Amino acid sequence: MKITFAGSPKYAAIVLEEILNEKIPVKWVVTNEDKPEGRGQKIKPTPVKKLARKRGLEVCHRLEAVIKKTDLVLVAAYGRIFSEDILEMPKYGFLNLHPSLLPKYRGPTPIQAAILNNDKSTGVTVIRMNSEIDSGPIISQKKINLSGNEYYPDLEKKLAREGGRLLADTTKKWSADQIEAEPQNDSEATYTRLLKKEDGRIDWSNPAEKIEREVRAYYPWPGCYTELDDKILKIHKASVQKQTEAGPFGVPGKTYLGTNEKIAVQTGKDFLLIEELQFEGGKKISSASFLQGNTDLIGEILN
């Protein structure tokens, strides 16, 4: 069987690595074109392209170049909707891996949504792709329990590895006609949206628990940030410090000296204990280390 894999970012590269390790015979890899990245704007290939070349796979940037020769297309984070005539061309269709328990969290940011909503579990789903976003019939799913402490990069990696193994197993059964697809219940569908830079701005009137989830979900992009004296302060790691009945009861955004010599910020409920931060133009540093030479930050109000 001739299989094509389509995907581009790091998540997709991990999925590809897993299905190759499971001996899925991928012949072609379709990924986005090289683009400039970083401060130097150097032209770089996608993570999927890097891995494909390392594993000796043929790479192209247009699915149309190989679709007529393909029996099955496996998709992970490719970011493109295909027309029905394209979807029907391969003998076994298109299988898409999505990092949520569909129909929950259709769309581009399901991993962040699971963290933001403090879900107790999430998972991965393989669907037969159709021309609508993440709405194709479900072929297989795997549930994954959450601890409530996950940061986005770690959860993304875990879901990619579990998803890659699930996609490999599903591919074997699907091509052998040992598994069937079941329609999604559209009435239970929920949707996610693309994130914007402004999503990372902290509203200190929110409870500390909500802000802490945002810190974990939005790391590393768009990142959670606030302002002090017109300078951006990024918060990379944080936890919640419960407020006692004795206070202090300051305005949201006011800084105090918290436990373990860390910066504690008053929120709408409880304190956000900053563990790792970065001022604009500076380096990432622990809260305790920063305070050793910057105790004047205590008592300031962050905006």
Nearest partner of 265 among 281, 282, 277, judged by Cα: 277
Q: Quick check: 97 and 167 in contact, CB under 8 A?
A: yes
> pLDDT tens for residues 175-230?
999 999 999 999 999 999 999 999 999 999 999 999 999 999 999 999 999 999 88
- pLDDT reading at 128 higher than 80: yes
Nearest partner of 239 among 222, 218, 264, judged by Cα: 264
Instruction: Quote the pLDDT of residue 214.
Output: 98
**Domain 3-188: CATH superfamily, name plus number:** Formyl transferase, N-terminal domain (3.40.50.170)
Residues in CB range of 9: below 8 A, 6 or more apart: 46, 47, 48, 77
Q: What is the mean pLDDT of residues 272-296?
A: 92
User: Crossing angle for the helix pair 152-175 and 10-21, nearest 10 degrees?
Assistant: 40
Looking at residue 261, what DSSP letter applies?
G
Q: Quick check: 250 and 242 in contact, CB under 8 A?
A: no
Provide the residue count of the chain.
Answer: 303
pTM: 0.95
SS3 of 99-137: the string is: CCCCCCCECCCHHHHHHHCCCCEEEEEEEECCCCCCCCC
Classify domain 197-297 at the CATH topology level: Methionyl-tRNA Fmet Formyltransferase; Chain A, domain 2 (3.10.25)
> pLDDT tens for residues 10-36?
999 999 999 999 999 999 999 999 988
pLDDT grade for 111, boundaries at 50, 70 and 90: very high
For the chain, give the mean pLDDT. 96
What tokens does 58 get? 């043929």
> pLDDT tens for residues 238-279?
999 999 988 888 999 999 999 888 999 999 999 999 999 999
- pLDDT reading at 150 higher than 90: yes
Rounded to whole angstroms, the Cα distance separating 27 from 204 reads 51
Q: Where are the alpha helices (DSSP H) in 122-279?
A: 152-175, 208-217
Enumerate the domain spans of the chain.
3-188, 197-297
Instruction: Quote the pLDDT of residue 294.
Output: 84
Nearest partner of 282 among 242, 240, 225, 241, judged by Cα: 225
Nearest partner of 254 among 288, 296, 300, 294, judged by Cα: 300
Q: What end-to-end distance do the CA atoms of the chain give, in Å?
A: 58
